[in-house]
């Protein structure tokens, strides 16, 4: 009872919500770069919120089901085909043993999430199935999916055919605004440097990955060249010696010594991670109080979004 990987695409990784409480032994979080799309994938399937799914980056992935089950794809606009028939994303579809599932290359956004009913069955590493290739843990042997891999999943005969109305689905753009919460080192950046950071556009570099999004634009400098290595939170905006910001993401290192001008709001790092190289990023300051309000509002709105049911 498996899903066979025929073609993994550019990068496909098994992910649950992430590995938490392990920074003290040097292990980072991992988990989905777009938690919003990940959560909807499991919610539509009536799965446990922490069920393991496949994060497909950029597309070009193909799978063959060896079991009767149900699947759902959320996230980037990668056309979903089952037996070469295009079907809507953000919806639950039945598949039978022998059916082929494909995700074409993304039209907008770059991370999609493929889930199955009850999730993929994967042995956890340090309390999580999240794949972090740099640390070689999680997923299947701590690595990306490869052709011929078998993803264990249960046979499921019944599932409600939930879908998210198109009006409620996110629209992935090639330009985002990232709200930044000031950090204790922000005072080491002069008013001129801060104004430059918050008033100019930056471009996503081709060197961006799951560790962090490297940006290209006006260089930012502060009055310290480096600091003693310290713990790093998700979303930290590091300013290395070349002055080009790096927004650290899920697979970031747990400690680092670059100055940080602040930390990006988690709601916005999810949208940032859907940008492809060449995408445009603007930064805007937000107070801790404003950040909390934005998170609570987003959570409240997500709870109010209804799941619909179709009978196709």
With a cut of 50, list the residues of the chain below it in pLDDT.
Answer: none
Please report, for the chain, the start and end positions of each structural domain, with discontinuous segments joined by +. 2-168, 175-300
What residue spans of 98-237 are helical by DSSP H? 191-199
CATH class of 175-300: mainly beta
Residue 83: C-alpha distances to residues 94, 95, 98, 104, 309 (Å):
12, 9, 9, 13, 23
Do 178 and 265 touch, CB atoms closer than 8 A? Answer: yes
Do 1 and 153 touch, CB atoms closer than 8 A? Answer: yes
pLDDT of residue 28: 94
Distance between CA 187 and CA 93 in Å, rounded? 52
Distance between CA 248 and CA 137 in Å, rounded? 19
pLDDT of residue 193: 95
Which string of DSSP letters, residue by residue, matches 96-131?
A: -TT-EEEE---SS-SEEEEEETT-B----BTTB---
Do 41 and 190 touch, CB atoms closer than 8 A? Answer: no
Distance between CA 105 and CA 84 in Å, rounded? 14
pLDDT of residue 229: 83
φ, ψ for residue 297, nearest 5 deg: -65, -45
Residues contacting residue 92 through CB under 8 Å, at least 6 positions apart: 44, 45, 70, 71, 72, 159, 160, 161, 162, 163
Bridge partner residues of 175 (DSSP): 280
Residue 66: C-alpha distances to residues 118, 152, 155, 298 (Å):
15, 10, 9, 38
Pairing of strands 280-285, 175-182: parallel
pLDDT of residue 183: 87
pLDDT of residue 83: 97
pLDDT of residue 230: 86
Unique residue bearing structure tokens 């930290």: 236
């Amino acid at each position: 009872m498996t899903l066979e990987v025929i073609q993994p695409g550019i990068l496909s990784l098994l992910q649950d919500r992430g590995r938490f409480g392990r920074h003290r032994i040097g292990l980072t979080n991992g988990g989905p770069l777009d938690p919003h799309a990940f959560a909807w994938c499991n919610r539509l399937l009536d799965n446990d919120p922490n069920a393991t799914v496949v994060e497909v980056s950029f597309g070009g992935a193909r799978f063959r089901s060896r079991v009767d089950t149900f699947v759902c794809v959320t996230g980037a606009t990668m056309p979903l085909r089952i037996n070469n028939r295009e079907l809507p994303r953000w919806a639950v579809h039945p598949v039978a043993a022998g059916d082929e599932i494909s995700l074409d290359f993304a039209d907008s956004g770059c991370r999609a999430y493929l889930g199955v009913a009850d999730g993929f069955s994967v042995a956890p590493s340090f309390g999580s199935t999240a794949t972090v290739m740099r640390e070689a843990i999680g997923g299947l042997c701590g690595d990306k999916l490869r052709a011929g891999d078998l993803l264990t999943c249960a046979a499921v005969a019944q599932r409600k055919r939930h879908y998210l109305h198109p009006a409620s689905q996110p629209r992935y753009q090639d330009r985002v605004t990232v709200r930044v919460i000031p950090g204790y080192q922000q005072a080491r950046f002069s008013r001129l440097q801060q104004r430059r950071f918050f008033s100019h556009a930056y471009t996503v570099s081709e060197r961006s990955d799951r560790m962090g999004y490297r940006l290209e634009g006006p260089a930012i400098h502060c009055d310290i060249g480096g600091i003693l290595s310290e713990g790093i939170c998700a979303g930290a905006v590091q300013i290395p010696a070349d002055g080009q910001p790096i927004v650290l993401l899920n697979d970031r290192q747990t400690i680092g010594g670059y100055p940080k001008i602040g930390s990006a709001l988690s709601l916005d790092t999810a949208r940032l991670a859907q940008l492809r190289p060449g995408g445009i990023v603007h930064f805007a300051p937000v107070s801790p109080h404003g950040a909390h309000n934005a998170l609570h509002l987003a959570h409240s709105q997500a709870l109010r979004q209804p799941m619909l049911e179709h009978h196709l």
